[in-house]
């Protein structure tokens, strides 16, 4: 097949892995117990990011330091770091427990990953999770050990944990898999952070899924090239030549 796509970089929660607001609710539970004045919608809008940095972002907001989300990984309020780490540690406990009970793939995810591999497309995942949570997901679903994923990037693999909307996790996958042209890379996700990561990297296509954890009304405001319902539709999108 003449698609000239060398690498597909997938988000995990809400894109390849069922979410059902689990990530949002674990983040909110830790925040609420701490007494942080934040809503579930605020958390949902900013998902897909480094969770320590997310808590820093939200704490700063409650103190009147409003940071443009596009500068999420640029303008970090260092005064909030120690509090954010406390929140993150509690959140991690909830998130690991959640995934040990509720880690399921989105319908058709395995088939899409296999199709990519069978058609000469390398597969990487990028996530707003650190290593401990990413490892639970990979162990549960078996995609990495089964060879359906070539590289599973988490925040601990990039300097200072600079995740989305910065493009460094995506570049990390390109480096490891020896893909040298970002115009041969496609990005698939379901959050504003995913869209911005793909845009900041200069990907050939930035594809949003509508059945993920964040509504299209939220992520659709950010630059993207294609919209599909779920990753199950990705092979057809590629086969029909709509990614140019």
Asked if 112 and 86 sit in the same domain, the reply is: no
Q: Is pLDDT at 1 greater than 70 in this prediction?
A: no
Tell me the CA distances in angstroms from 52 to 86, 144, 161, one per residue in order: 9, 26, 9
Q: Is pLDDT at 2 greater than 80 in this prediction?
A: no
Asked if 136 and 224 sit in the same domain, the reply is: yes
Average pLDDT over residues 70-82: 96
Asked if 128 and 145 sit in the same domain, the reply is: yes
In-domain check, residue 232: yes
Asked if 147 and 96 sit in the same domain, the reply is: no
CATH number at residue 212: 3.40.50.1000
Q: Determine what percent of the chain is predicted with pLDDT higher than 90.
A: 97
Q: Is pLDDT at 74 greater than 70 in this prediction?
A: yes
- The number of distinct structural domains making up the chain is 2
Asked if 54 and 88 sit in the same domain, the reply is: yes
Q: Rounded to an integer, what distance in angstroms lies between the CA atom of residue 49 and that of residue 165? A: 7
Asked if 112 and 220 sit in the same domain, the reply is: yes
Average pLDDT over residues 184-208: 98
Residue 152, H or E segment: strand 151-153
Last residue of a domain, one of 64, 81, 102: 102
* 218 confidence band (pLDDT: 50, 70, 90): very high
In-domain check, residue 79: yes
Q: Is pLDDT at 96 greater than 90 in this prediction?
A: yes
Residue 188, H or E segment: strand 185-189
Report the C-alpha dihedral over residues 101, 188, 106, 45, rounded to 10 degrees.
Answer: 60
Asked if 87 and 177 sit in the same domain, the reply is: no
Asked if 95 and 48 sit in the same domain, the reply is: yes
Asked if 117 and 235 sit in the same domain, the reply is: yes
Asked if 170 and 123 sit in the same domain, the reply is: yes
Q: Is pLDDT at 202 greater than 90 in this prediction?
A: yes
pLDDT tens track for 138-148: 999 999 999 99
pLDDT tens track for 118-172: 999 999 999 999 999 999 999 999 999 999 999 999 999 999 999 999 999 999 9
In-domain check, residue 2: no
Per-residue confidence (pLDDT) for residue 3, from 0 to 100: 87
Per-residue confidence (pLDDT) for residue 181, from 0 to 100: 98
In-domain check, residue 116: yes
Asked if 152 and 222 sit in the same domain, the reply is: yes
Segments forming the whole domain that contains residue 79 = 22-102
Partnered with residue 209 across adjacent β-strands are 228
* 31 confidence band (pLDDT: 50, 70, 90): very high
Q: Is pLDDT at 4 greater than 90 in this prediction?
A: yes
Q: Is 200 in contact with 165 (CB distance < 8 Å)?
A: yes
What's the mean pLDDT when you consider all of the chain?
A: 96
Last residue of a domain, one of 102, 133, 164: 102
Asked if 116 and 234 sit in the same domain, the reply is: yes
In-domain check, residue 244: no
Last residue of a domain, one of 102, 125, 146: 102
Average pLDDT over residues 73-97: 96
Q: Rounded to an integer, what distance in angstroms lies between the CA atom of residue 237 and that of residue 225? A: 12
């Amino acid at each position: 097949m003449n698609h000239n796509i060398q690498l597909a970089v997938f988000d995990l929660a809400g894109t390849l892995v069922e979410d059902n607001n689990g990530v949002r609710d674990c983040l909110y539970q830790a925040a609420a117990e701490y007494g942080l004045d934040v809503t579930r919608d605020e958390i949902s809008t900013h998902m897909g990011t480094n969770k320590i940095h997310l808590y820093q972002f939200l704490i700063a907001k409650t103190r009147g330091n409003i940071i443009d989300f596009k500068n999420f990984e640029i303008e970090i309020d260092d005064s909030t770091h120690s509090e954010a780490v406390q929140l993150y540690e509690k959140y991690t406990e909830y998130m690991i427990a959640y995934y040990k009970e509720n880690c399921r793939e989105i319908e058709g995810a395995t088939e899409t990953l296999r199709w990519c591999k069978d058609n000469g497309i390398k597969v990487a995942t990028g996530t707003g999770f650190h290593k401990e949570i990413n490892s639970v997901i990979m162990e549960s679903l078996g995609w990495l050990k089964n060879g359906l994923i070539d590289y599973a990037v988490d925040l601990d693999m990039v300097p200072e944990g600079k995740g989305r909307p910065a493009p460094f996790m995506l570049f990390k996958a390109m480096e490891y898999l020896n893909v040298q042209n970002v115009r041969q890379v496609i990005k698939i996700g379901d959050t504003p952070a995913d869209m911005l990561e793909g845009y900041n990297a200069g990907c050939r296509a930035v594809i949003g899924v509508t059945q993920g954890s964040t509504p299209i009304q939220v992520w659709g405001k950010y630059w993207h090239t294609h919209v599909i319902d779920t990753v199950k539709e990705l092979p057809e999108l590629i086969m029909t030549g709509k990614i140019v």
